[in-house]
Amino acid sequence: MVIIRRNADGSVASTSDTSQQQTQSHPALATRKGMAALSEAGRALPPLFNEIALKINNAKDKPRKLKVLKDNDSVPLRQVLKGAFDPKVVWLLPDGDVPYTANDAPLGTEHTTLAQEAKRLYLFTKGGDNSLSNTKKETLFIQMLEGLSAEEAVFLVAVVNKKVNNEYKGFTGNLVKEAFDWDDDFMKKK
């Protein structure tokens, strides 16, 4: 019978042979990649868009920024970033700060995510839904912001104001086009 005991540092110490104590580290803890995987293991939500933007902001060089975008690629992320950088997308909302009450509920509880709400963003763009009045659009947008986490709401306001690059260093339209293989019209290259 083998008894496995843990040392204070978390490594595994085998006590089958007391004369020769061998210390082994857990294989997943041996690399940075393993540590990163363990840090995300208990998370119920995928990364929020503001977290992706923050990772891009903190990445030291362009290849790392591209890797962050490629690793988190999704249809909702592409929709939001197209709205943020494509000059043809015109938001029918007032520029500047939006008067809303930030949602201070803990992450993962009483709020939606921008990934879920991305499919409704067409309501606030030119040519999206012409049946809504401007007042109704602004009301719906404020409700959307109040449903998101406070950080994602700030990110969405930056998207609508087309100021993502001002808030997050190095997060540019050219970076997005290169990461998603888009042409100058923010469409998939042929």
Block means of pLDDT (10 residues each) for the chain, length 190 residues?
A: 72 57 53 62 74 94 94 94 94 89 79 90 90 91 93 94 92 93 88
Nearest-angstrom CA–CA distance, 173 and 82:
9
Q: Among all chains, which residue has been given the structure tokens 């963003």?
A: 121
- Alpha helices of 72-106 — where are they, by DSSP H? 75-85
pLDDT value, residue 18: 47
Under DSSP, the state recorded for 51 is H
Domain limits, the chain? 1-42, 45-180
**Which residues lie below 8 Å from residue 94, measured CB to CB, with a gap of 6+?**
138
pLDDT value, residue 154: 94
Left (φ > 0), alpha (ψ -120 to 50) or beta: where does 74 sit?
Answer: beta
pLDDT value, residue 20: 46
Say what the pTM is: 0.75
pLDDT value, residue 32: 67
Residue 186, beta-bridge partner list: none
Q: Quick one: tokens of 187? A: 């469409």
